[in-house]
C-alpha cells in the first residue's frame, strides 16, 4: 500500500486528488433573517435583544438591534424559527421560515409582554389556518384535519373550524367522523347553514334520506335571506338531491333550478337538472345542461356520467 502511495505521489497526483476532494465537499445552504423593531409610535428600538430559536432542534441565535432598530442574522440552517424580541418590559414574538433562496424578513412592534404573547398566539393561529388551507387545496386531507383541529383548540367556540374538519372527513369518505364534526359546528353556532349542508351531504351519502331532508331544510331556512340572488345554492341543491332520492323528480327539478337561479355556475346543479330533464324526456335541454356541467367542472365527480349522457343523446 505504501508503495502505491509513493508511486501516486511520485507522479504528482497527490495534490490534484486533494484538490478534487476539496471541490467535491458539499456546501451546506445557509439562510438569512432580517427585520426592524419599532415601538408603539413606530420609532426604531435600539439595543433590543433578538432571539432566533429553531423550531426543529431549539438551536438559538441571539443578537441586538442597531441604531436604526434593524437586525441581521446570517448563517442560519434553513427551516422554521421562532423570533422573540425584548427590551425591558416590552416584547414581541412571531414565526419565520428561513430559506436559502432569499433573505426572510420579519418586522416587530414592541408591546407589553401580555399583549405581545396574545399577538404571537394570533399570528401562530393565522399560520396554522394558512397551512390547513394549503393542505386541503393540495388534497392532503389528513394534514388539513390535524391543522384545523389545532386551530379549534386555540380558538374556543370556533364553529367554522369544525365545519372545515367535517369537509375534510367527507373528502376521505369518513362519514361518521364528518357527522361528529358538523354536529359540533352547529352546536357552537346554530345558524351555521354550511354545517347543516355538510350534514345533509353526509346523510345523503349514507342513504339516510329523512335525516338529509331535515338537515337540508334547516340549511335552506337559515340561508333563505343570505344570498342576493335568493338563497344558498348548496342548500337548494341538497334539497333537490333529497327529493330525487325519494323519487320526487319534479320537486327535485325545482330545487336544482332554484340553486342555479342563486348561482348560475353551480356545476352539480347543472348535472342534476340534466338528469331530471332526461327523466322528463327533454333530451336537447338535458344535453345542454351536461355540456355546461363539463365546462364548469371538467374533472368533477359527475364528469364521466355527463360525457356518457352526451354521447347517448342524439
Q: Per residue in 206-229, pLDDT tens?
A: 888 889 888 888 887 786 654 444
- The pLDDT tens digits for 164-175 are 999 999 999 999
pLDDT at site 265: 94
Burial of 51 (0-12, 13-18, 19+ CB in 10 A): middle
Confidence band of 82 (pLDDT split at 50, 70, 90): very high
Global pTM reads 0.50
- What backbone torsions phi and psi does residue 241 show, to the nearest 5 degrees? -65, -40
CA 236/CA 257 separation, integer angstroms: 9
Is the distance from CB of 205 to CB of 215 less than 8 angstroms? no
Q: What is the mean pLDDT of the chain?
A: 83
Burial of 301 (0-12, 13-18, 19+ CB in 10 A): exposed
CA 262/CA 236 separation, integer angstroms: 9
pLDDT at site 1: 41
The conformational region for residue 40 under phi > 0 = left, psi -120 to 50 = alpha, else beta, is: alpha
Amino acid at each position: 500500500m505504501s508503495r502505491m502511495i509513493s508511486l501516486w505521489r511520485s507522479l504528482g497526483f497527490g495534490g490534484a486528488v486533494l484538490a478534487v476532494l476539496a471541490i467535491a465537499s458539499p456546501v451546506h445552504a445557509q439562510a438569512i433573517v432580517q427585520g426592524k423593531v419599532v415601538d408603539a409610535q413606530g420609532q426604531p428600538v435600539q439595543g433590543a435583544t433578538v432571539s432566533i430559536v429553531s423550531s426543529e432542534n431549539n438551536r438559538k441565535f441571539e443578537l441586538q438591534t442597531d441604531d436604526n432598530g434593524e437586525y441581521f442574522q446570517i448563517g442560519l440552517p434553513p427551516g422554521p424559527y421562532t423570533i422573540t424580541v425584548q427590551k425591558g418590559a416590552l416584547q414581541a414574538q412571531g414565526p419565520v421560515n428561513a430559506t436559502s433562496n432569499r433573505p426572510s424578513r420579519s418586522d416587530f412592534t414592541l408591546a407589553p409582554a401580555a399583549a405581545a404573547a396574545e399577538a404571537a398566539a394570533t399570528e401562530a393561529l393565522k399560520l396554522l389556518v394558512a397551512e390547513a388551507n394549503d393542505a386541503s387545496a393540495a388534497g392532503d386531507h389528513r394534514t388539513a384535519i390535524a391543522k384545523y383541529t389545532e386551530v379549534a383548540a386555540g380558538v374556543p367556540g370556533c364553529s367554522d373550524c369544525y365545519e372545515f374538519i367535517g369537509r375534510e372527513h367527507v373528502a376521505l369518505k369518513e362519514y361518521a367522523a364528518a357527522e361528529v364534526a358538523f354536529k359540533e359546528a352547529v352546536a357552537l353556532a346554530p345558524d351555521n347553514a354550511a354545517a347543516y349542508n355538510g350534514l345533509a351531504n353526509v346523510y345523503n351519502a349514507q342513504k339516510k334520506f329523512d335525516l338529509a331532508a331535515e338537515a337540508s331544510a334547516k340549511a335552506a331556512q337559515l340561508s333563505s335571506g343570505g344570498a342576493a340572488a335568493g338563497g344558498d345554492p348548496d342548500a337548494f341543491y341538497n334539497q333537490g338531491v333529497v327529493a330525487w332520492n325519494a323519487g320526487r323528480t319534479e320537486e327535485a327539478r325545482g330545487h336544482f333550478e332554484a340553486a342555479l337561479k342563486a348561482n348560475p355556475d353551480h356545476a352539480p346543479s347543472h348535472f342534476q337538472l340534466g338528469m331530471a330533464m332526461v327523466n322528463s324526456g327533454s333530451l336537447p335541454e338535458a344535453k345542454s345542461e351536461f355540456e355546461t356541467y363539463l365546462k364548469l367542472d371538467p374533472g368533477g365527480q359527475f364528469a364521466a356520467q355527463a360525457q356518457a349522457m352526451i354521447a347517448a343523446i342524439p
